Structure 1
Amino acid sequence: MVSYKEIQASNALINDATAPHVAVFVGGTSGIGKFTVRALVSTGASVRIYLVGRKSSEERTHAFIQELYAINPKAEVIWTEGEVSLLAETKRVCQVIKSKESRVDLLFLTAGYAPFGTRRETAEGLEIAQSLEYYSRILFVLHLLPLLRVAEAPKVVSVLAGGLERATIELDDLDLKKPGNFGGFKAQVQYAAMNTTTLEKLANENPDVTFIHSWPGAVNTGNVRRGRDPNSIVAWLVWLTLEPLIGLFGFSEEECGQRHLFQSTSAAFGGRGVPWKGKFGVNSLEKEADGLFLVNNKCDCTPNAKVMGLLREQAQVKIWDHTQEVLRPYL
């Protein structure tokens, strides 16, 4: 485990020279994205942040932006509206960013929620949680890779379930459309494995970019209720039982933000970024080198070697081919 004191010491080294000067936060209007934005701005460094969120979150996000400016007047936070469960909207948001920037130092992806309950699809025919947690995220990466490649220490951080992959996924029904295949736990396992296999492929093809698939552990972000009818019995039970337990045993908002800021900036992962004198992380190939890092809530690397070997051999090509087919109209 990387101690909280070590993380705070590393983050204290973030300044105008070491900060990610241009950062894109997709899902940064709430939860872990929001906590990490606040941690980054609180370093006092000169940063420009694109905060991507839905129209419905615009009003409260503007209040958050004012809070950030009070913390750090050198920060520039750009509200960027987009319903990123839709791939057409994701493409549009990327085009806006590409029209304004020549480089991106950090792409931080957290949009999504636990896919419990009945299957619901977007207007594009994709299950909503899968679109947010997988397709939209990969589309952001593919569009912004040219801008990431020219940065000095670029990082892509996808927060979901890195290191918790399972090999028992539905390769013949990757979108879980067949009767009986969709379910909360099964869907989350499916989406996590798809994230990791595709991010590993992209990391191997782009050695100048550090990729992290992070599992945050217990953090009360409200995601366990998101996507449910707020007046349903299940939502009330979650509010009364599960959320208090997460609040009791999970990380605080501040520590969660600091830990993810560490992942986003430290040279502990891949050797690029804020100098690190501790133990270096190993990537998904169990090497101290560039690549994809599966990082848990303690900021330890968890290569999940046995499962990753199976996914690499049996699933990666199928997942990539299917992903290209889905994303091709939006590239």
Structure 2
Amino acid sequence: MGARQTWRVDASRPDLRGQVALVTGANSGLGLQAALGLAHRGARLLLPVRDTRRGLAALDQIRSTCPQADATLLPLDLASLRSVADCAALVGEHTDRLDILINNAGVMAPTRRRETADGFELQFGVNHLGHFALTGHLRPLLEAAPQGGVVVTVASLAAGRNTIHFDDLQSRHRYSPFGAYQQSKLANLLFTQELARRAGENGWNLHARAAHPGWAATSIIHNGQAASLPAPLGAIEDTLGTIVLRVLGQSAARGAEPLLFAALSPTARDGDYYGPQGMGERRGPPGPAHVPAAARKASAATRLWDVSERLTGVF
């Protein structure tokens, strides 16, 4: 990964006028902050959301802080492969290129096992397979970007705490709320590395990088979606978890910096992973992140890709 480095978003403001960026999960938290960072640099935004009401509220916030923002909402439910395909088709009606794709949306640790519309375990289906399919559908637009579109997939510190259970990917035989989340985040890292490898091998004009926000204090914890803490079990745990993130972690704006670093920094490299540089990578300015051993297994990345391609019918 190279030496640790410091980088502040405010200190590096490339002009993104004329470029098109798509951010999933931009109605709040990290996605909203990443979208704001891109808007302030002049990028045209495409913002796929599942909840139109929350999407409109986020759009109002973007335009209030960045009046010149060019932003468009699109419908997307990552828990439905049909919705993913429909959204990608709509993106193609709005633009003939895609310079930046930030795969940020996600769910975490529902107490009971839930399934997507296609029968996948919800976290694996949304966090990994939904974004895998979306990226595949958008590949022609990413390759149409003059410098090659940059794909940033958001992982988590939790990614290093599990493995890919190929014998039970959908957690049908044994479901652990946080274990399934850890698996999905590890899948995000493996997907990034395999996408970067295949892009280089096949001459695809795109770039693939991963990032994590450390411990970012966002509304994600209220939805049972903490960055790397055990899933909330109730109001007390929810409150304590939020306090822990605020005291030991950082704001959503700071948490979004590694995402923007991976997308925009001239030193960001394909296949690499970025996160906060403080103790435990929980907070601090962005730079290279530690890649857990489970995410360095090329055979697992290739196998996961093949399984994902078969399950989604994309790529």
Contact 1:212–1:294 (8 Å) recurs in 2: yes
Q: Which deviations, in whole Å up to 9, do the C-alpha atoms of 1:167-192 show, x marking residues without a partner?
A: 743122222222x2x21232123212
TM-score by length of 2: 0.84
CA 1:63–1:198: 2 relative to 1, 3 Å: closer
Aligned length: 293
Which residue number corresponds to residue 218 of structure 2?
A: 221
Provide the C-alpha distance between the structure 2 equivalents of 1:305 and 1:239, rounded to a whole number of angstroms: 28
Secondary structure, aligned partner of 1:212: strand
The structure 1 segments of at least 4 consecutive aligned residues displaced by more than 6 Å after TM superposition are none
Q: What is the deviation of 1:160?
A: 1.9
Which residue number corresponds to residue 276 of structure 2?
A: 297
CA 1:163–1:263: 2 relative to 1, 3 Å: farther
1:87 aligns with 2:81: yes
1:205 aligns with 2:198: yes
TM-score by length of 1: 0.80
Provide the C-alpha distance between the structure 2 equivalents of 1:116 and 1:67, rounded to a whole number of angstroms: 29
Q: What is the deviation of 1:20?
A: 7.0
Which residue number corresponds to residue 76 of structure 1?
A: 70
Aligned-residue Cα RMSD (Å) equals 2.5
Q: What is the deviation of 1:305?
A: 6.9
- In percent, how many aligned pairs have the same letter? 21
Provide the C-alpha distance between the structure 2 equivalents of 1:26 and 1:120, rounded to a whole number of angstroms: 21
Which residue number corresponds to residue 268 of structure 2?
A: 269
Alignment map for 1:161-180 (pairs within 5 Å): 161=156, 164-165=159-160, 168-178=163-173, 180=174
1:126 aligns with 2:120: yes
Q: Which deviations, in whole Å up to 9, do the C-alpha atoms of 1:292-326 show, x marking residues without a partner?
A: 111122323235374344x213x233322211221
Which residue number corresponds to residue 246 of structure 1?
A: 245
- Give ranges in structure 2 of 5+ residues lacking alignment: 226-231, 278-285
Choose the corresponding residue for 1:323, options 283, 308, 313: 308
Which residue number corresponds to residue 255 of structure 1?
A: 254
Contact 2:23–2:101 (8 Å) recurs in 1: yes
Contact 1:36–1:256 (8 Å) recurs in 2: no
Contact 1:158–1:214 (8 Å) recurs in 2: yes
Contact 1:163–1:295 (8 Å) recurs in 2: no
Which residue number corresponds to residue 35 of structure 1?
A: 33
Provide the C-alpha distance between the structure 1 equivalents of 2:26 and 2:122, rounded to a whole number of angstroms: 18
CA 1:306–1:81: 2 relative to 1, 3 Å: closer
The AA in structure 2 aligned to 1:300 is G
Contact 1:37–1:257 (8 Å) recurs in 2: no
CA 1:194–1:261: 2 relative to 1, 3 Å: closer
CA 1:129–1:168: 2 relative to 1, 3 Å: closer
Contact 1:161–1:216 (8 Å) recurs in 2: yes
Secondary structure, aligned partner of 1:210: strand
Provide the C-alpha distance between the structure 1 equivalents of 2:144 and 2:128, rounded to a whole number of angstroms: 25
Contact 1:295–1:302 (8 Å) recurs in 2: yes
The AA in structure 2 aligned to 1:221 is T
